Amino acid sequence: MIKYIFFCIALLCLSCQDVERPEKPDNLIDKDKMVDILYDVSLINAARSYSVPKLKVAGIKPENFVYEKYNIDSTQLAQSLTYYTVDFNTYGQIWERVNERLESKRTEVDSIKKLNDSIARAKAQLLKDEGKDVPQRRNPNLTPPERREVNDSIL
Give how far the C-alpha of residue 130 lies from the chain's centroid of Cα atoms, to the nearest Å.
Answer: 45
Residue type, 118: S
* Structural contact between residues 85 and 93, judged by C-beta atoms closer than 8 angstroms: no
Measure the CA–CA gap between 136 and 102, rounded to whole angstroms. Answer: 32
Q: Tell me the domain boundaries of the chain.
A: 24-134
d(CA 22, CA 35): 20
**Cα 18-22-25 angle, rounded to 5 deg:** 165
Per-residue pLDDT of the chain (155 residues; tens, 9 = 90+): 444 554 445 555 555 555 677 788 889 999 999 999 999 998 888 877 777 777 778 777 777 888 999 999 999 999 999 999 888 899 999 999 999 999 999 898 888 988 888 888 888 888 777 776 656 655 555 555 444 455 555 55
Cα-Cα-Cα-Cα torsion 47, 48, 50, 51, nearest 10 degrees, comes to 110
Helix (H) or strand (E) holding 109: helix 88-129
